[in-house]
Each structure stands twice: as C-alpha cells, then as structure tokens.
Amino acid sequence: MSEHLKQYTNHDRARTQRWRRQMRQERWFEATVWAFFAVAIGVIADLVNGTPKGWNVLAGTTGTFYAALCLGAVGGVLAVACVLPDACARLFELTKNAKHEEARDLQRRLMPITRLLGNAHGVPGLKAALKIAGYDLGLPRPPLTPVDDAAVAALCSAIEALSGVASPA
C-alpha cells in the first residue's frame, strides 16, 4: 500500500471513529432529552388530572409548553415569552384553536432559543437576549457572569429566526 493511501486510510479511520463517538454522545443526549420530556409530560398530566376544580396548571418551560396545553394546562410562565412574546402567544392560540400541525411546527422552531435560555446559558443568557430585544437589565449578579460573544451571536440568530412570527389576531 502506498504511503499516501496509508495516510488517507488512517485519517479516514480516525474520522469515522470520531463520528461514531459523536453519534453515541448525541444519541445519549437525545435519549436523555426525550426521557426528561416524557417525565415532564407525565408530571404535567398528573398535575392537570389531580388539580381541584377552580385551580389551573401552567407550563413552566417552553420546551413542554405545547404538550402541556394539549394536556389541559391553561397557559405558561415562560422565559422565552419575555424575549419573543408574539411567538409564545401565537403557540398558545394555535393550540387553543386546534391547529396542531402549525403549533407543533412553531414549538419545534422555538426549541433552539429555549435551549439557549435554559441549560446552555440560563439567567445570563436571558439577560443577553432581553438586551438584544431592547431591554437592558444590566449584568447578571455574581457569581454569574455575562455570556460570551459566541453566545450572543447564537442568541441573535435564534431570535432573528423567530422575529417574523406574527402575534395572534
């Protein structure tokens, strides 16, 4: 085998191994996320079914907002709604009016910003997103630190992707 072919084969083998490792990690992450949502949706269903008359259940995260509404929640307290109120109100209206295909599509489109404002960047990410939206709330309190420029760019991109969502009529 020629030296060039050996190098290419070794490079290709290493690339394949990296790809396999990444896929295992992504599958683990995806399985973890789905397990979390399955548990969260089960908890929401239990809450809705076990809530006395005259009491209401609200979703507490955009990641489960659509599913919670379908299960009987009457609304949500959502960090994403501080930044993209029209998109969250639109999702509520679509679900309420049984336009489930459009609602599921919007729910999927909200997931990148949901992840960025949730586990990825938390409160500092929310403050950065609000600043992007025109509400400067200052820096996060210690020990939290502001997000870096890459996170701000990701937030800008995620917000821009949803900026065209019209508020409900």
Q: How many domains does the chain have?
A: 2
Averaged pLDDT for residues 104-119:
92
Residue 169 lies inside a defined structural domain of this protein? no
Determine the structural domain holding residue 153 and report its residue range.
Answer: 56-161
Q: The domain spanning residue 81 has which CATH number? A: 3.20.20.70
CA distance 26 to 20: 10
User: What predicted TM-score, i.e. pTM, was given to this entire model?
Assistant: 0.74
Question: Could you tell me which residue, 130 or 29, shows the higher pLDDT?
Answer: 130
Q: How confident is the model at residue 94 (pLDDT cuts 50, 70, 90)?
A: very high
Please check whether residues 24 and 81 belong to one and the same domain: no
Averaged pLDDT for residues 152-162:
94
Closest listed residue to residue 107, CA positions, set 126, 130, 90 = 90
Largest CA distance in the chain: 78
Per-residue pLDDT tens digits for 53-88: 899 999 988 988 999 999 999 999 999 999 999 999
Confidence (pLDDT) at 43? 79
Residue 50 lies inside a defined structural domain of this protein? no
